[in-house]
Amino acid sequence: MTKQPNYKAKFWLPLTASLLLAGCGGGDDGANGEPGKPGEILPPTTRTAERLNIEVTQVNEQDGTLTVHFKASDQHGTALVGINDVRTTVAKLSADNASGGHNWVSYLRKSTKVDHERFPDVDDVSHASSDKGGELIDNGDGSYQYQLKSNLQKAKDPITKAPIEWQQQLTHRIGVEVRSSDDYPVANVAYDWVPDGGDVTETRKIVSSDACRVCHTELDFHGGSRIETDNCVTCHNADNVDPISGESLDLKVMAHKLHHGLDLPSLKQEGTKYSIFTSGGADERIYGENDGIWVLSNKGTIDGVNYPMDIRNCTSCHADEADHQANPDLITPITADAGNWKTVPSIAACGSCHDNIAFTQQMLDANHNLERHVSFPIEDGTCLSCHGEGNTFSVAAVHTKAAMDKKEAGKEYGYQFEVTHLEPVSGVDTAYDAHVLVTKDGQGVTLGDEYLQFKNSVRLFLNWDNGLGFETHVGKKTPNSFELDKSSDCRDGGETGQIICRWDTANDPYINGGQPLTSGHILTSFISSGVCVDSRNQLVNCEDNNALEKISSPSTVVNRFFEVSSLTEDEHFELKLGASFDRCGSCHEQVIQHDSRRSDDPSQCKACHNANRFTRSPADSPRDGGSSDLKFEVHKIHSNYRFAYADNSFDMVGRLEYYPAPIADCSQCHEPDQIDLPLAQNPRPSIARAPATSLDDGTTLGRDGAVYTSPIATVCSSCHLSVGPGLIGADGNIVTDALGNTLLTRDLSSNGIGYDNGEFPQVPVTLTADEKSLLNHMIQMGGAVFGASSEAEAAGTESCSVCHAIGSTTGVDKVHGQLN
């Protein structure tokens, strides 16, 4: 119930008095009286807000009934009135004597009814809940008070009927949730206090919501009403379990497992999964699964959440002062108890990621597939004897330090690869000798078995940029790619560590038509330079399949751009990008692909993934018809082969994975000027694989049957179409296969049902009505080109910027809902 201030009474009383006085007639008016005191000036208020700020000012308790006082304001600080829907959660911070830490315990619990027809052997359980329907008073000046309907001194578990003790000497937290309306958005705030009037001395503030937003940009759980981690923990505490899957809903367990996803160790066993059911079992959310079925070309693929950085990098979510001192590049906000991950380890927290380990006999009895901890059994509170700070296997040493050291392991091994200079070849005006220098700890070394046992091969590659981007692509069999220890085009350079590789641009008709180069820049770089290390960052033989968690750590690679006219290095050359490479680090921390190098030079990515390369996926896969151009492939990967409708809702194409932020939020990866139309960077049409194109052509210069798509259409189709642009004809319809038959693709919708010997059922490639409408708009209104046989046919035709440039009514900034 909401009580509103009586504005009418305040108005009518003085008005009535003045009318009565006006009705008296005759007689002398007399002298004027003293001026009255100025009336009370009320602060300005508003009923609408783009952003809602809530501040709790006080919490009172009387005989078990809580009253919370709070203020509301808009983005400008103006008091907001008219709030009419408030929910609250309340929890106490109870000491966990076993681990030495603390856990939140909710006073408010509800009975969760299980669908017993589907799950006859599962009992109803109680879960933490919220208070609603109490008395809400709007004071008319932006201040409110809400009296909870629940009496906390009478709190009990609705299933067991066990009382939940009111302990007023402990730290308590009230979570206030203001539900959104048409006038203002949702807001959450948490407030800690001690009901008996004491100071708050015990706290549990581990992860800041701002740390989550670095990658997620926004949090909107439970229908969008739960958006702050400090509120989340008041319900997601140790007493909450999913009754159907048996998984803990405690945030310190659930958050770790959700993020670990498909890399959870328990998923190595076929038939295992990590899932959580919605209330009562209505819906199962699978976050990691090994179902043993065929996905694309892999049998037994593990699907689920693919965490975008090293899962051992604990400080990406929770970091204290010491963590920031150890890594000055950290952007994770500091919280009061962020260091608990290394100082208060527990079986619950550690077992959430190491979920294939039994720490106790009870855990082993419940699951005989678990491996015993090296010290078995163990109890909470004993972990620090081995994993405390200063020990060889301290929590920090085997997690964040190991993750950070992985980046440097290859570098510390001492190998460095560089091209010192380019030299023209006498008598061959299209050829260059690239002088490679391989050093270890600054000294020239032979690229022999000492190194190659840790890495099978290293490739030099070159590419040419004449101002619009690289003019060819790099593949294993292209003439601009050289295996240093195997290529017949590479020879000994005469001194230890020197190798000379000859690149003849005439072998590539896409580089200046095979004619001599006269302008532009030549990139020299290396790929597959990483060395194999185990989880302790010790070098291991790459062929050793028994190595402990074998991973690749990049060696040091020097990327150089040489001016064609002088063959001197241009240290000031800047490769133009359509995205902010630095922003990749917000989720990935370090981008390592193809055993490459560290993530500070995107020129390697562009040298291969540009407008001249298409995908190599099987002809009947959902990725068929795609382009390997970054402007298509990166969007498609991050949208997880989903496609978006105009309202940014999605249909799935392929297996379920997760992008951690709204896919329409371009600002997560781009600067504002990088999303404007027409495209400022990479404005060339992109090649795409067509049904007649050979699968092997992606590693060679072959482009048989490949087609071109105009540049803006390439970008837009990556998210808004379920079908690759190479499968769409000039008329906007699906093309036929190489024999003129209906084009077929793999049916992934059955999720493994109906598979025969690992083969997917074949279904026709189709477009939805919405997709057909979108294609018609793109072609008829925007000048988009699909199915062109040459780059020239797909260039210079688009007019999308007339309606969709930034600042327009339907500008890309507006329809994607950011840059406000």
Cα 796 from Cα 782, distance rounded (Å): 11
The confidence score (pLDDT) of residue 23 equals: 47
Given a cut of 60, is residue 806 above it in pLDDT? yes
The confidence score (pLDDT) of residue 819 equals: 45
Q: Identify the DSSP state of 641.
A: T
End-to-end CA distance of the chain: 35
Q: Residue 41 CB: number of other CB atoms within 10 A?
A: 6
Given a cut of 70, is residue 595 above it in pLDDT? no
Strands 556-557 and 415-425: parallel
Both tokens of residue 49? 């807000």
Q: What are the φ/ψ torsions at residue 585 (nearest 5 degrees)?
A: -65, -20
The confidence score (pLDDT) of residue 799 equals: 96
Given a cut of 90, is residue 29 above it in pLDDT? no
The confidence score (pLDDT) of residue 288 equals: 86
Where do the DSSP E strands lie in 555-657?
Answer: 556-557, 560-563, 643-644, 650-651
The confidence score (pLDDT) of residue 817 equals: 75
Given a cut of 50, is residue 21 above it in pLDDT? no
Residue of 125, 187, 184 lying closest to 157 (CA atoms)? 125
Both tokens of residue 607? 């040298």
Q: pLDDT-derived band of residue 654, with 50, 70 and 90 as boundaries?
A: very low
Q: Which of 76-90, 94-108, 433-447, 544-558 has the highest mean pLDDT?
A: 76-90
Query: Which of 452-456, 633-637, 763-767 has the lowest average pLDDT?
Result: 452-456
Across 300-308, average pLDDT:
74
Given a cut of 90, is residue 737 above it in pLDDT? no
Q: What is the dihedral of CA 207, 210, 216, 221, to 10 degrees?
A: 70
Question: Are residues 653 and 580 in contact, defined by beta-carbon separation less than 8 angstroms?
Answer: no
Q: How far is CA 195 from CA 64, 156, 658, in A?
A: 10, 19, 42
Cα 62 from Cα 72, distance rounded (Å): 24
Across 173-185, average pLDDT:
98
Cα 174 from Cα 90, distance rounded (Å): 5
Across 511-531, average pLDDT:
91
Q: Residue 242 CB: number of other CB atoms within 10 A?
A: 22
Cα 401 from Cα 391, distance rounded (Å): 13
Across 460-483, average pLDDT:
91
Q: How large a percentage of the chain has pLDDT more than 90?
A: 57
Query: Average pLDDT over the chain, rounded to whole?
Result: 86
Cα 616 from Cα 614, distance rounded (Å): 7
* Maximum distance among all Cα pairs of the chain, rounded to whole angstroms: 124
Q: What is the pLDDT of residues 147-177, one digit of tens each?
A: 999 999 999 999 999 999 999 999 999 999 9
Query: Which of 402-411, 542-551, 624-633 has the lowest average pLDDT?
Result: 542-551
Q: What is the pLDDT of residues 617-641, one digit of tens each?
A: 655 554 578 899 999 989 988 886 5
Given a cut of 80, is residue 449 above it in pLDDT? no
606-644: burial string, b at 16+ Cβ within 10 Å, e else: bbbbbbbbbbbbebbbbbbbbbbbbbbbbbbebbbbbbb
Query: Which of 564-573, 577-586, 589-598, 807-816 has the lowest average pLDDT?
Result: 589-598
784: three-class secondary structure by DSSP: coil
Cα 664 from Cα 654, distance rounded (Å): 20
Given a cut of 80, is residue 38 above it in pLDDT? no
Given a cut of 90, is residue 752 above it in pLDDT? no
Question: Are residues 434 and 501 in contact, defined by beta-carbon separation less than 8 angstroms?
Answer: yes
The confidence score (pLDDT) of residue 80 equals: 98
Question: Are residues 399 and 447 in contact, defined by beta-carbon separation less than 8 angstroms?
Answer: no
CA 158-160-164 angle, to 5 degrees, is: 70
Across 315-339, average pLDDT:
95
Q: How large a percentage of the chain has pLDDT more than 70?
A: 86
Given a cut of 50, is residue 265 above it in pLDDT? yes
What residues does 72 pair with on adjacent strands? 54
Question: Are residues 432 and 523 in contact, defined by beta-carbon separation less than 8 angstroms?
Answer: no
Q: pLDDT-derived band of residue 696, with 50, 70 and 90 as boundaries?
A: low
Q: What is the pLDDT of residues 201-213, one digit of tens each?
A: 999 999 999 999 9
Cα 579 from Cα 811, distance rounded (Å): 18
Cα 739 from Cα 762, distance rounded (Å): 16
Given a cut of 80, is residue 119 above it in pLDDT? yes
